[in-house]
Amino acid sequence: MVTINIKDDFIKLGQALKLAGLVDSGVDAKFVIQDGLVKVNGAVEVQRGKKLVSGDVVSYNGKEFTIG
């Protein structure tokens, strides 16, 4: 599993998807999140601004990454 390292206390879900390379833009992130296609720690998340912290696991489109 890929780990996305952050230097702050948290990263927003939309930003994390872009950083992981799973979406091309913030607009793409907005739509896949709103459509219920993204899971955080196994639960569907529909808030683009959801704050992710170290240890959170995000999955989308058959790919998964963790926040480090």
Establish if 61 belongs to a structural domain: no
pLDDT at 19: 95
pLDDT band at 1 (very low <50, low <70, confident <90, very high): confident
Q: Which residues of 39-59 are buried (b: 16+ CB within 10 A; e: fewer)?
A: ebeeeebeebebebeeebebb
Establish if 46 belongs to a structural domain: yes
Number of C-beta neighbours around residue 31 at 10 A: 13
Domain holding 28, by residue range, is 10-52
Q: What is the mean pLDDT of the chain?
A: 96
Domain count, the chain: 1
Establish if 65 belongs to a structural domain: no
Establish if 32 belongs to a structural domain: yes
pLDDT tens column, 13-37: 999 999 999 999 999 999 999 999 9
pLDDT at 40: 98
Establish if 57 belongs to a structural domain: no
Establish if 25 belongs to a structural domain: yes
pLDDT at 10: 97
